[in-house]
Structure 1
Amino acid sequence: MAIRILLLLLFMSFSFSIGASAEVPLKAAFIRDHQLWMKDGDKETQLTKGTYVSNPQWSKDGQFIAYTAGDKSGKNENLFIYDLKKKENYLPYISIETSDYKWSPTSNQLAYNSGGVLNVTKTKNGRPHGFENVSLGVSDFEWFPNGKEFIVSSESNLLPTGWEPVRLFTVPVDANLDSSKIKPFYTVQTNTNDLFAIDAQYFKWSPDGKWVSFLLTPTASWSADSNTLSVLSSVGTDFQVIGKMLGNENWIKWSPTKNQLAFISGEGRFYVENKNVAVADIPLPNKPKEYTPKGYVDLDLEWLSPDEIIVARAKENKAWNEGPVPSMNTALYLININTGEQKQLTFPKNNKIDNFPQVIGSTITWYRTSDKENTGDVWVKDNIGGQEHRWLKNVDMAPTFFYKK
């Protein structure tokens, strides 16, 4: 009897371990031939027709996809929402012109910036519909992790005495243009010699919500070559400069569990050299540690685990100095930031380019294309040691995955 019970317990334990490590079916919104599509597991569904779609974003619970759509020229773009339950596209309001919109981290409320006016959607019949004004004079914004307020930036003005400092504010969701509800959060003192900036963009919160990272950006021409990555504590007291980098939002990634910030450092608008993946402990005790080997550039990144980062890497091209900018044929590499060990993960052939790595659970995905193609394919490894296989064909860009942790 004791042996039978032991065998049963072993069987249950084995079954649980298999179930716990089972693959989670991928679910993604993507764009093919300018139209919005969705793939859930193995099923692909076209969601729009006859328009030009961009920037699909999932709501927190996966019921809605927000996106912009307009005509071929890129004009007449409006904010749309696809409702997965009702299987229909709709306008949350008659006309919303915006390219900057973000779902609440706690509800199905959508915030968007339209011409410097921050707005939030109201709710009608259980879905986002209509809107309320929140604040004027907004350059960029992000939800606080509690879903009750925003951190916003306001672009500096040029005065006869020089540029104003960069100001950040906290704005309650229900501010409704009442300036008495809006509070100063932090003022970044800038100057042309040490830290020059006129705006702050790309706010991202640390996993514990105690720090927010952002880019301090100078005037347009200068910004194309260099911006300042910074962090600020959630109570607006501790400000730190992390390093210089280009204005690529996807090149800034917090660790999934630790207050460590990975980014691609380096100045200069061309990708041919001086682009190095670096990791900074926050708060910053020492200079960020760089991991890119000499003679290479890293041009995208993603955390695989608290100790591992995936990068899109290519050889430097210091010989180039004029003419068309050469393509950088990147492949994916894995870096262990504790041991420094690095190994190549993908081996694209025939001048293919692997970039835009994304990690969903234990699954690794990336976008494979070439400089001569307008579309590409999405490839997948079910785990770090898995066999790669193609998951999506002929898509316009990397997809947006929905993953409920």
Structure 2
Amino acid sequence: MKHWFSGLFICWILVPTVAWSQADVQIDMQRIVRSKMSVAIPDFRLVTETPQSASLADKEKIVFENDLNFSGLFSLQQDVDTLASAEGLTEVDYPAWRQKGIRWLVKTQMDLDVDTNIVSYVFRLFDIDHESFLLGKQYKSDASYSRRIIHRFADEMVLQLTGKRGMADSRIVFLKKWLKADRFSPNKNHMVKELYAVDFDGNRAEQLTWDDTINLSPDWSPDGKWISYTTFQQSVENPKLQNPNLVMINSADVKVKKNLQRLPGLNATGVWAPNGKEIALTLSKDQNSEIYVLNDDFKLKRLTWHFNIDTSPSWSPDGKQIVFTSDRAGVARPQIYIMDANKGEKGGLRKIESDSNYNDDPAWSPDGDRIAFTSRTDSGLQIKIYDLAENKLEEFTTGPYENQDPTWSPDGRFIAFTRSDRHKSAIYIQRLGETTARRVSPSDNSDEAQYSAPSWSPFPK
């Protein structure tokens, strides 16, 4: 798998010419963000029209529209091509667009060199209400990166209008579980769980591992270069040993794999610290599951000492605290606790109050103000969100399906999770404040695979 945007070059940035500061625009947008913003995306203008360029333009316009639709912030207006065709790339009849109810207008010019397969884009964002050109960018790359150029500008547009970068260019890694035919006994099957990744819009699903075994708990490094996970893959030194070990793969070249921890017993639920130099993980080397921190010198620091199970750590965004799951309040009655990342439980614990006797899978929000987790309810396992400042608990998902394994988008606007229905499971995304979710894992009806354990990538560099 190639690195996102290797081969993509930002040739130059068109300087926005606005009569007010960017902060003023963002404040204005924050005031109206609860109602979707009206935006027009006319057909892409082609410098040289060929069958190849026309086909690519039509395809990528749909990608752009989906990016904005999936953000949950925009309402795309139709029947805008007639008006746009009467204008140039830089000319805008502001009263005419305003009469159509348009708030934002995006004009796109594309050029595809069919001989070199190089594609160039020019994007221009206009503020119709203030009659101003707001943002412009130009990109040039091999046409194979065209889709990612669209994602990149969609994210830049969301950043310009809301103050937070969009999610179109992000990825989600997850596990795919299925019965696989044995290489040496074709009539026999064995269960495998391999890592896969998919774009925010549910496209470009790619297999990342071929370990031919059970893998667990994938997690992205803060810089997006590595993905750690637990694997039961046989040891090269001792083929008879199938100890659950912690490893990591390079996201740009998944053939590059490194061992992180191979102690006897469980080496699981590894999660990266925000500084990228430490990993919190669960080890059972002391005959009991405890939380440790592994630093970049491969030295371990123990944080919990309880005789019951401690697991599922998640860092606060400032790296000063760790939230985790423990059944120290009662066997098979796990609850959520917060401890100091340096002192561990010896520095005291804060219990997240919940009306359920089963809470697990905590995930700290990027803004640091909330923690999402899985909770048993009357309708089965559901995701709840705890507000740390207000000590307030709210339901994020409800029945009839079971939902678990929450992971936050890096902007804190979305949560991805595992949704289960009987014996099937898939990965879904849901925006905060909304009740409908969108599936992003493959949805082939003939595919009996199950998908679980999502982990959202950081913002691409």
With the length of structure 1 as denominator, give the TM-score of the two structures: 0.52
Match of 2:409 in 1: 360
**2:245 aligned with 1:140:** yes
Contact 2:280 / 2:294 at 8 angstroms: preserved in 1?
A: yes
Which residue identity is paired with 1:266?
D
2:382 to 331, 338, 345: 331
> Given the superposition, is the C-alpha separation of residues 341 and 376 from structure 1 closer, same or farther in structure 2, using an over 3 Å criterion?
same
SS of the aligned residue for 2:19 comes to helix
Which residue identity is paired with 2:335?
N
Deviation at residue 349 of structure 1 after TM alignment: 3.4
**2:373 aligned with 1:290:** no
Which residue identity is paired with 2:193?
S
In the TM superposition, what are the counterparts of 1:169-318 in structure 2 within 5 Å? 200-217=267-284, 226-235=288-297, 239-244=301-306, 246=309, 251-267=312-328, 271=332, 273=333, 275-284=334-343, 286-293=347-354, 296-305=357-366, 306-314=368-376
Contact 1:242 / 1:288 at 8 angstroms: preserved in 2?
A: no
Contact 2:359 / 2:374 at 8 angstroms: preserved in 1?
A: yes
Contact 2:372 / 2:406 at 8 angstroms: preserved in 1?
A: yes
1:346 to 378, 396, 401: 396
Which residue identity is paired with 2:358?
V
Deviation at residue 239 of structure 1 after TM alignment: 2.7
SS of the aligned residue for 1:208 comes to coil
> Take 2:339 and 2:179, find their aligned partners in 1: how far apart are those partners?
39
Deviation at residue 9 of structure 1 after TM alignment: 2.5
> Take 1:298 and 1:34, find their aligned partners in 2: how far apart are those partners?
27
Deviation at residue 358 of structure 1 after TM alignment: 1.8
**2:235 aligned with 1:116:** yes
CA deviation profile, 1:75-134 (whole Å, cap 9, x unmatched): xxxx2xxxxxxxxxxxxxxxx654459899647999977422279xxxxxxxxxxxxx9x
SS of the aligned residue for 1:330 comes to strand
> Take 2:296 and 2:428, find their aligned partners in 1: how far apart are those partners?
37
SS of the aligned residue for 2:437 comes to strand
> Given the superposition, is the C-alpha separation of residues 33 and 154 from structure 1 closer, same or farther in structure 2, using an over 3 Å criterion?
closer
Deviation at residue 243 of structure 1 after TM alignment: 4.7
Deviation at residue 283 of structure 1 after TM alignment: 0.5
Which residue identity is paired with 1:298?
N
Contact 2:267 / 2:281 at 8 angstroms: preserved in 1?
A: yes
**2:20 aligned with 1:9:** yes
**Structure 2: segments with no counterpart, 5+ residues:** 1-15, 26-133, 135-158, 181-188, 199-203, 251-255
> Given the superposition, is the C-alpha separation of residues 209 and 243 from structure 1 closer, same or farther in structure 2, using an over 3 Å criterion?
farther
Tell which structure's C-alpha radius of gyration is larger. Answer: 2
SS of the aligned residue for 1:18 comes to helix
Match of 1:46 in 2: none
**2:430 aligned with 1:381:** yes
> Take 2:208 and 2:266, find their aligned partners in 1: how far apart are those partners?
26
Deviation at residue 311 of structure 1 after TM alignment: 1.4
SS of the aligned residue for 1:239 comes to strand
Contact 1:304 / 1:310 at 8 angstroms: preserved in 2?
A: yes
> Take 1:139 and 1:243, find their aligned partners in 2: how far apart are those partners?
21
**Structure 1: segments with no counterpart, 5+ residues:** 37-49, 68-78, 80-95, 120-132, 156-197, 316-326
With the length of structure 2 as denominator, give the TM-score of the two structures: 0.46
> Take 2:225 and 2:163, find their aligned partners in 1: how far apart are those partners?
26
> Given the superposition, is the C-alpha separation of residues 35 and 20 from structure 1 closer, same or farther in structure 2, using an over 3 Å criterion?
farther
Deviation at residue 375 of structure 1 after TM alignment: 1.8
Match of 1:43 in 2: none
Deviation at residue 230 of structure 1 after TM alignment: 2.4
SS of the aligned residue for 1:300 comes to strand
> Given the superposition, is the C-alpha separation of residues 118 and 344 from structure 1 closer, same or farther in structure 2, using an over 3 Å criterion?
farther
> Given the superposition, is the C-alpha separation of residues 24 and 234 from structure 1 closer, same or farther in structure 2, using an over 3 Å criterion?
closer
CA deviation profile, 1:176-218 (whole Å, cap 9, x unmatched): xxxxxxxxxxxxxxxxxxxxxx665444442224543332316
Contact 2:226 / 2:248 at 8 angstroms: preserved in 1?
A: no
Which residue identity is paired with 2:167?
V
Higher helix share: 2
Match of 1:56 in 2: 195
In the TM superposition, what are the counterparts of 1:28-177 in structure 2 within 5 Å? 28=172, 34=178, 54-58=193-197, 65-67=207-209, 79=210, 97-100=212-215, 106=225, 114-117=233-236, 140-143=245-248, 150-155=259-264
